[in-house]
Structure 1
Amino acid sequence: MELTLRKPPRPIRGAALPAAIALLVLALALLPPLVTAYNLTKAPTRTLIAELDRGRTDGLPVTADELKDRQAAKTAVARLLGPPREMSAPAFGANSTANGLGSGTDPSADAAADAAADAAAGGSAGTGALDADAVSTPGSLKAAPVLPAGSSLAAAAPATVVAAAPAPALDPERLAELKESLSSGQGALWAGHALLLALLCGLVSKRLTGRYRGLLVNERNVMSLSRFQTVVWTVLLLSAYYTAASLRAYGLADPTAALQIDMDWQLWALMGISVTSLVAAPVIHAQKQDKQPDPAAAAKLDPEQVAAGDGILLAKPRFQDAAWNDLFQGEELKTAGYVDLAKLQLFFFTLVGAAAYSALLLQLFGTVPAEELGQLPTLGQGFLAVLGISHAGYLASKTVDRTQTADD
C-alpha cells in the first residue's frame, strides 16, 4: 500500500486577515448603537415613556414628539427607571409634630404658635422672636434668623436636609412593557458578539496555524482540554461584559457610568480555576517528558506512537493530526487508546456550565434595559465548587504515571 503525504492547509496570507479582523471589529462597534437607537426611538417605546411620564409632579410631562430625540428619550428613561432623585426639604424643630409638617396645618402656623408660646413664657424681644418675613406663606422659605444660645426657638429653627423625592406611582404592567421594548434584540446582540469574538479567535488561529481550531492544539500536536475550556469561558465573559458596557454607553443619559458593571467574585474565581488548569497542565507534562518508557513495556505498545512520543506522553508527528477525540482520550502512551474519565467529566461540566450561563445571559439581555444593566449573572457557589473539584481531579489524574518507565 503506497502512502501519500497530505498537503498542509494554507494559512491566510497578505491583507486578508487584517481586512477580516477590521470588518469584525467594525461590526462589534456598530451593532450596539444601532440596536439602542432603534429601541429608544421606535413608536411603541415613545408611547410607553410618554404615558408613564404623565405621573410626574416635578415638571411638565414629555411628549412623544420630544422623545424622537435620543437624548430626551434617555433622560426620560433614567427618570422612570433610575433611582429616586435627591431634593432639599425643610425640617422643623422639636415643637413641631413628628411628621415635621405640623398637625394638619401649614408650617407658618406652627412656627407662629411656637413664638406665641415662648412670648407667654416670659421671653423678651431679645430672645429671638421670628420676624414676620420669616413666618410667611408656605413655599417661600427664607433665611432663618440668628437665635441666641438657650433660646427656646433655637430647637425650632428650620434646617435643610436631603431627602429622596418619592417616585411616581407607575403601572407595573406598563413598566414591564417598557422594559421589554427597551431590551428588544439585546439577547441576539450578545449572541452575535460571542460569535464574532469566537470568529476573531478562529481567524488568528487560521493565520498562524492554518486551521481555525489550531488555538486548541498544544506543542505535542494534541488538542488540549484545558485550552478548550479557557477559550470557552473567555469568549462568554468577554462578550457579556462588552455587550453590557456598549449598551450602557449608548443607552444611558450619563455615559460616564457605562463601565460600572459589577462582576461577582464567583466569575473571577471561575477564570482563576480555568487559568490554573491551563498553567498547571504543562508543568505536570514537563515532568513526564523527561521520562522514557521501559523497553519491555514499550514493546507491547504501538511502535509508531512510541517513536513519535514525547517521553511517556502521546505526541503526534504533524500538526494536522490533532483531532477532537484528543479531548477525551488518555495522554500517555499506554492510555492513548482509552477514554480518560477525568477529562470526560471536565468536558461535560464545562459544556453544561457554559450552556447554562449562556441561557442566563440571554435572559438578562433580553429582559433588562441598559438603565438597569449593572451586574452580570452569577454562577452560584454550588456549581463553582463542583467545577473546582472536577478541575482538581483532572490535574491530579495527570500526576500519576500509567506507563512503566525505565527508572521503575
Structure 2
Amino acid sequence: MATTFWAWLVSALVIVLLAVVIPGRLGAQSVLRDARGRYSLSRLQVMLWTVVLLSLISGMAFGRFAAGQVDVAGFQIPSQVLWLLGISVGSGVVAAAVKVVKSTNHPESVAAYPMGQERGRLWEMLTAEEGASAGKSIDLAKFQNFVITVMLVLLYIAQAVSALKAVDNPAGIAGLPAFSDAFLVLLGVSHAGYLLGKMPSPVGIPEGGTMAERLASAASEAEVSKTVPEVRTA
C-alpha cells in the first residue's frame, strides 16, 4: 500500500503547485483570493476538499495500476462524498454571488485592495469584510465554518488512511471511504450559518481600501492601457 500512499501525497502536492504556486509565478492572482483581492474562506474550503479528494482518487487509481489492475478506476465514489462536494462548491458559488451583489450596491463599505496591490495575511479570511470593523474583528460565522471544515477534512483523511491500511492489496480497494451522514449534516448546517452570516451589511468605511477604490484603480489601469503613446518627430 506504500505506492498508493505516495501517489496520494504526490498528487496532492501537484494540485497545490498548479493551483497556488504557478499562478503566483506567472503574475496572476492567487486562487485563494477573491475579486476583492482578499483571502477567501469559501475558496479555501473548495481548495481543501479538491486537494484531498482528487489526490485520493489519483492515489487509489495509481495503486491499482501498480498492482496490475486493468480497470484502474474501478472503484466507487460514495454518494456522501458527492454531497460533500456539492455543499462545498454550492456554498462557494452562493458566497461569491453575495459578494458581487454587495460590491456592486455598496462598494464604499466593502473592504478590498487596489488592483495589483493585494496584500494581507491568510487569517484575514476569518475577519469581517464590510464596515468599519472589516479586517479587525473575527466573524463568528466564518470562524465556526473554518473550524468545522478543518476538523472534517482531518477526520476524512484519517478515515481514508485507516481504510487503505486495512487492505493488503491496492487491487482490493472498492471505493473512497464513505462520509458519515451525521458529519454531512454538520457540514451543511455549518455552511448554512456561514452564508446567513454574509447577509447583513455593516456600515462604515473599512481601513486599508474599499471596493470603490479597487474599481476606480481598475478603471484607471484600463484607460492607461488604451492610451497610445505620442510619437514625436526627431
> The TM-score by the shorter chain falls in which range?
0.7 to 0.9
Task: Output the CA distance in 2 between the equivalents of 1:197 and 1:365.
Answer: 21
How has the CA–CA distance of structure 1 residues 338 and 344 changed in structure 2, closer, same or farther, with 3 Å as cutoff? same
Contact 2:6 2:59 in 1 (8 A): no
How far is 1:245 from its partner? 1.2
Runs (4+) off by over 3 Å: 207-211
Residue identity in the other structure for 1:232: L
Task: Output the CA distance in 1 between the equivalents of 2:13 and 2:198.
Answer: 32
1:320 to 93, 100, 118: 118
1:106-121 matches, cutoff 5 A? none
Say whether residues 1:311 and 2:129 are aligned partners.
Answer: no
Task: Output the CA distance in 2 between the equivalents of 1:206 and 1:404.
Answer: 32
Task: Output the CA distance in 2 between the equivalents of 1:289 and 1:281.
Answer: 12
Deviations 1:150-184 (A, max 9, x none): xxxxxxxxxxxxxxxxxxxxxxxxxxxxxxxxx24
Deviations 1:296-355 (A, max 9, x none): xxxxxxxxxxxxxx3321112254313212211001023312110111111111111111
What residue number does 1:71 align with? Answer: none
1:169-184 matches, cutoff 5 A? 183-184=1-2
Say whether residues 1:268 and 2:82 are aligned partners.
Answer: yes
Say whether residues 1:333 and 2:131 are aligned partners.
Answer: yes
Say whether residues 1:243 and 2:59 are aligned partners.
Answer: yes
Contact 1:245 1:259 in 2 (8 A): yes
Which blocks of at least 5 consecutive residues in structure 2 are unaligned?
206-234
Contact 1:290 1:311 in 2 (8 A): no
1:234 to 50, 53, 59: 50
Deviations 1:199-230 (A, max 9, x none): 2222332234467xx11011111000000010
Task: Output the CA distance in 2 between the equivalents of 1:376 and 1:235.
Answer: 14
Task: Output the CA distance in 2 between the equivalents of 1:324 and 1:209.
Answer: 19
Contact 2:131 2:204 in 1 (8 A): no
Task: Output the CA distance in 1 between the equivalents of 2:45 and 2:118.
Answer: 21
How has the CA–CA distance of structure 1 residues 209 and 382 changed in structure 2, closer, same or farther, with 3 Å as cutoff? farther
What residue number does 1:395 align with? Answer: 195
Contact 1:190 1:365 in 2 (8 A): no
How has the CA–CA distance of structure 1 residues 391 and 263 changed in structure 2, closer, same or farther, with 3 Å as cutoff? same
Contact 2:60 2:170 in 1 (8 A): yes
Contact 1:194 1:239 in 2 (8 A): yes
1:370 to 170, 193, 200: 170
User: By percentage of residues, which structure has more helix?
Assistant: 2
Say whether residues 1:189 and 2:3 are aligned partners.
Answer: no
Give the structure-2-normalised TM-score.
0.79
Q: Percent identity?
A: 30
Deviations 1:218-254 (A, max 9, x none): 11110000000100100111011111112112313x5
Task: Output the CA distance in 2 between the equivalents of 1:359 and 1:194.
Answer: 15
2:118 aligned counterpart, secondary structure: helix
Say whether residues 1:206 and 2:24 are aligned partners.
Answer: yes
How far is 1:185 from its partner? 4.8
Task: Output the CA distance in 1 between the equivalents of 2:196 and 2:58.
Answer: 35
1:34-73 matches, cutoff 5 A? none
How has the CA–CA distance of structure 1 residues 221 and 385 changed in structure 2, closer, same or farther, with 3 Å as cutoff? same
Say whether residues 1:352 and 2:143 are aligned partners.
Answer: no
How far is 1:404 from its partner? 6.6
Contact 2:4 2:60 in 1 (8 A): no
- Give the count of matched residue pairs: 202
Contact 2:33 2:40 in 1 (8 A): yes
Q: Could you say which structure has the greater relative contact order, defined with CA pairs below 8 angstroms and 6 or more residues apart? A: 2
How has the CA–CA distance of structure 1 residues 185 and 244 changed in structure 2, closer, same or farther, with 3 Å as cutoff? closer
Give the structure-1-normalised TM-score.
0.47
What is the alpha-carbon root mean square deviation over aligned residues?
2.1
Task: Output the CA distance in 2 between the equivalents of 1:347 and 1:209.
Answer: 28
Task: Output the CA distance in 2 between the equivalents of 1:189 and 1:290.
Answer: 44
What residue number does 1:343 align with? Answer: 142
Contact 1:184 1:366 in 2 (8 A): no
Deviations 1:373-395 (A, max 9, x none): 12110120111101111101111
What residue number does 1:215 align with? Answer: 31
Residue identity in the other structure for 2:20: G
